[in-house]
A and B are shown apart, each in its own frame.
Chain A
Amino acid sequence: MNGMTQIVKKVTQLMSGLIFMYGLYIITHGHLTPGGGFAGGAIVAGGFILLILAYGSKVLNLRKEETQTSITESVALLVIVMLALAGLFLGTYVFFNNYLPQGEIGQLISAGVIPIYNIFIGMEVAAALLTIFLGLVIYKEEVAS
């Protein structure tokens, strides 16, 4: 897949750093400000998509990237399920229990297990959207051409 012109590449280079920063901010501050795992993950995926579109790359490492994203996706989901099940192992027999200390409300480290969920849900959403986009791009390159 061939990339775009030099101008687009330079602009993307400058912007994608900001996009990732903003996405990570939205994910980590999910429990304080509006946003959260879903919105932040989608923004991070948008950043990656921008890079892939601007720079383009050969089908081979696109496919390698796709396997990586689908593996990160499964790992993130496994961690979420383990987090949910951790309540069972801590002897509370409760599924999806918020067992970490809450801390006081306005702070960054405050809402017990929720920020951790946010981070892994963000990872999972970003990896899923990226897998879908890569699936389409690989199909366009390989099968349609």
Chain B
Amino acid sequence: MELIPALYIIIPLLGAFLIPIIGHFVKGFQKTISVIITLFLVFYSVWFYIVGYEAPAVTKVGGWEAVNGVPIAIYLIYDGLSAFIILTVNLIAFLSTVYAMGYIKRFTAENNFYALLCLMIAGMNGVVLSGDIFNMYVFLEIAVIASYALVAFGTEKRELEASFKYQVLGGIASLLILFAVGLLYWQTQTLNLADISAILQYQDQSPALIFTEVLLIVGFGLKEAMIPFHAWLPDAHSSAPSPISAMLSGVLIKAVGVYALIRLFFNIFTITYEVSLLIVVLGTLSMVIGVLLAISQWDLKRLLAYHSISQMGYVVIGVGIGMMIIFEDGNRTVAALSIAGGLFHLINHAVFKGLLFLDAGAIEYMSGTRNLKELGGLSQKMPVTSSTSLGASLAISGIPPFNGFFSKLLIIIAAVRAEFYLLAALAVFVNFVTLGSFMKFIRYAFFNMKESKVSLKAKKLPFSMKFSMITMVILCVLMSLMVFPFFRDILLNPAVDVLINTGEYATKIIGS
């Protein structure tokens, strides 16, 4: 059966539209339908890898064939890179939905929560699949507007303020992207990504193109909270309900931010020295400053949010080094290694950062507070959460058996072989600072026996929360297998090949 990528968007949309209707009459319907949808999407994205992958599956929405070479319909492209990002998105979405079943009982309007969650998943899948730049903007807006409402779900003072600031900065980013889409249409008279890349390959770097690229870097950088534009992330991610901050930190900044940057600057625009240098510099800045800001934090979720910025710096560096090497057409194995390291760290960060936010939610669910000073001695009272957060902290600070170590190792090796010694040294330094910061978290939250004055609010952690936390910590260990060649060829290499041979994106899609 020809693989229909449109199902990734239609199924969550149908779920989101059904929930307000049926959820109004049948209690508990919204939980089951969301879990079923996200579970189906996980199997569907894994099924893609089982069936094997030869050429990008191009769906021309509406059945409009290209008229003498010029594509006129919206294309849905399902190639190696989109499959990889969709696997990350749907995996974390499923685990967060299962976690949310227990966590969201305390809030009213559960119907709206699950409908908005399904819409966010549909928006992210839409962005990753779309081969049309305006369509990418529309689905980016769906994902982002749903996340604005979800950040302010608890309507407390802090959440409203965080959501307002997040909305203003996110809105500015969206308008910059819309302006850049207008400029691109002005220069190339077409919206199809493959068509744009075919046109831009023959044009040289006109000042208008550089201006558009700068606008796009600023717009998607704001979405991805790189250093100069990170102001909204700590507020938004710390005041959102925990399954939502796990989704925001885990996948939204990746599917909407990093994926768009990677797709545009590898496959569409011709890589230039200034752009790749800018991306590597921004990545290093985010990595270093993110972790330095995180040390002084005592609120648990703010600490995790700042660490998201610095870990995203690793991903951006991995990809930036690959871009730099491709520009100087150095040896491609090092470029492939660094991009593989970047993408591997992307999925690793999605898993262990999602798990850390879920642990923070469990701690808050039981003890009612997030301030590390007030916590202490939780290891006996909350055995599951303490073990999972210990595992996740080891994973994020790159300790061997866990996945964080291997992806950071790949990035550092690639940096060394590409003669970026300063970057490698900084990466190692930031890794140890992260380790110190998370040891502080473990010590204060779980092993601070003597003055543990925290009184447990709830009696027992709901099973659904424990289930997703345990599955995620198992994933943290299992995913370190992706370093070995067998797993890499299946999962990582299709995505890396899409990025390495930049010119083939247009020929594969326009040609087909």
Is the pair B10, A81 in contact by a Cβ cutoff of 8 Å?
Answer: yes
Given known pairs A67-B24, A81-B10, A85-B10, the reply for A94 and B62 (CB within 8 Å) is: yes
**Which one, B11-19, B227-235, B303-311, is touching chain A?**
B11-19
Distance of A71 Cα from B115 Cα, bound (Å): 13
Which DSSP category, helix, strand, loop or mixed, fits chain A's interface? helix
Choice from B13, B18, B61 contacting A96 with Cβ under 8 Å: B61
B20 touching A78, Cβ below 8 Å: no
13 sampled A-B residue pairs with Cβ under 8 A: A67-B24, A74-B21, A77-B13, A78-B18, A81-B10, A81-B13, A92-B63, A94-B60, A95-B4, A95-B62, A96-B61, A96-B62, A97-B62
Provide the B24-62 mask, 1 if CB < 8 A to any CB of A, else 0: 100000000000000000000000000000000001111
Q: Which residues of the partner chain B approach A81 to less than 8 Å between Cβ atoms?
A: 10, 13-14, 17
Q: Which residues of B contact A (CB under 8 A)?
A: 2, 4, 6, 10, 13-14, 17-18, 20-21, 24, 59-63
Specify which chain B residues have a CB less than 8 angstroms from the CB of A85 in the assembled complex: 10
Contact in complex: B17, A77 (CB < 8 Å):
yes
Known A95-B61, A97-B63: A78·B17 in contact at CB below 8 Å: yes
In the complex, are the beta carbons of B14 and A98 less than 8 A apart?
A: no
Cα–Cα distance between A88 and B20 once the two chains are bound (Å): 26
In whole angstroms, what is the CA distance A88 to B6 when docked? 11
Given known A-B contacts A81-B13, A95-B6, A70 and B20 have beta carbons under 8 A apart:
yes
Q: Interface size (A, Cβ < 8 Å)?
A: 19
B17 → chain A, closest Cβ, in Å? 5
- Is there an interface contact between B18 and A74, defined as CB atoms closer than 8 Å? yes
Closest to B76 in A: A95
Q: Which of A71, A85, A94, A98 has the most chain B CB within a 10 Å cutoff?
A: A94
What is the CA–CA distance of A78 and B24 in the complex, to the nearest angstrom? 16
**CB neighbours of B59 from chain A (8 A):** 95
In the assembled complex, which residues on chain B have CB atoms less than 8 Å from the CB atom of A88? 4
Distance from A44 Cβ to chain B, minimum over Cβ atoms (Å): 20
> Interface of A with B (CB < 8 Å)?
67, 70-71, 73-75, 77-78, 81, 85, 87-88, 92-98
In the bound complex, CA of A118 to CA of B150 (Å): 30
Q: Closest CB-CB distance, A134 to chain B, in whole Å?
A: 14
| Closest A residue, CB atoms, query B63 | A94
User: Which residues on the B side are within 8 Å of A93 (C-beta)?
Assistant: 2, 4
A71, B62: Cβ atoms under 8 Å?
no
Q: Which residues of A contact B21 (CB under 8 A)?
A: 71, 74-75, 78
Which of A73, A88, A95, A97 has the largest number of chain B CB atoms within 10 A?
A95
Contacts of B2 in A (CB 8 A): 93
Given contacts A81-B14, A96-B63, 8 further A-B contacts (CB under 8 A): A77-B17, A78-B14, A78-B17, A78-B21, A81-B13, A94-B62, A95-B4, A95-B6
Residues of B within 8 A of A78 (CB): 14, 17-18, 21
Residue contact B62 to A74, C-beta cutoff 8 Å: no
Contact for A87 among B13, B14, B63, CB less than 8 A: B63
Cα–Cα distance between A74 and B14 once the two chains are bound (Å): 10
Interface centre among B2, B18, B24, B62 (most CB of A within 10 A): B62
Q: Hey, which chain A residues are within 8 Å of B18, CB to CB?
A: 74, 78
B206 → chain A, closest Cβ, in Å? 35
Provide the bound-state CA to CA distance between A23 and B63, in Å.
Answer: 32
Q: Which residues of A contact B60 (CB under 8 A)?
A: 94
A81 to B14 Cα, complex, angstroms: 8
Which chain B residue shows the least CB distance to A80?
B17
Chain A residues with CB under 8 Å of B24's CB are 67, 71
CB distance from B78 to the nearest CB of A (A): 13
Give the one of A85, A88, A96, A98 with max B CB within 10 A. A96
How far, in Å, is A55 (CB) from chain B's closest CB?
A: 26
Chain B residues contacting A71 (CB-CB under 8 Å) are 20-21, 24
Q: Which 3 A-B pairs have the closest CB atoms?
A: A94-B63, A96-B62, A74-B17
The smallest C-beta distance from B196 to any residue of chain A, in angstroms, reads 22
B6 to chain A: closest residue by CB: A95
B-side contacts of A92, CB under 8 Å: 63
Q: Which interface residue of A77, A87, A92 has the most chain B CB atoms within 10 A?
A: A77
Please measure, in the bound complex, the distance between the C-alpha atom of A96 and the C-alpha atom of B63, giving whole angstroms. Answer: 8
A74 touches B20 (CB 8 A): yes
In the complex, what residues of A have CB within 8 A of residue B10's CB?
81, 85, 95
A78 to B20, CA, bound (A): 11
C-alpha gap A81/B6 in the complex (Å): 12
Which residue of chain B lies nearest to A75 when distances are taken between CB atoms in the complex? B21
| A16-B240 Cα distance, complex, nearest whole Å | 42
Q: Which residues of B contact A67 (CB under 8 A)?
A: 24
What's the minimum C-beta distance from A120 to chain B, rounded to whole angstroms? 12
Kindly list chain B residues whose C-beta atoms are within 8 Å of the C-beta of A70: 20
Shortest distance between the CB of B238 and any CB in chain A (Å): 26
> How far apart sit A67 and B23, CA to CA, in the bound complex (Å)?
12
A77 cross-chain contacts in B, Cβ below 8 A: 13, 17
> In the bound complex, how far is the Cα of B59 from the Cα of A88, in angstroms?
13
User: B17 to chain A: which residues have CB within 8 Å?
Assistant: 74, 77-78, 81
Nearest residue, chain B, Cβ from A70: B20
Cα distance, A67 to B112, chains bound together (Å): 12
Question: How far is it, in angstroms, between the C-alpha of A71 and the C-alpha of B23 when the chains are bound?
Answer: 11
Question: In the complex, what distance in Å separates the CA atom of A96 from the CA atom of B6?
Answer: 11
Q: B432 to chain A: closest CB distance in Å?
A: 50
Residues of chain B within 8 A of A87, CB atoms compared: 63
- Chain A CB count within 10 A is highest, among B4, B21, B60, for B21
Shortest B337–chain A CB gap in Å is 39
A95 to B8, CA, bound (A): 13
Q: Once the chains are docked, how many angstroms separate the CA of A70 from the CA of B14?
A: 15
Bound together, the chains give a CA A55 to CA B13 distance in angstroms of 36
Distance in angstroms from A86 CB to nearest chain B CB is 12
CA of A96 to CA of B4, assembled, Å: 13
Q: From B22, which residue of chain A is reached at the shortest CB distance?
A: A74
Q: How far, in angstroms, from A87 to B61 measured CA to CA in the complex?
A: 11
> Roughly how many angstroms separate A73 CA and B24 CA in the complex, as a whole number?
14
Q: How far is the CB of A15 from chain B (nearest CB, A)?
A: 32
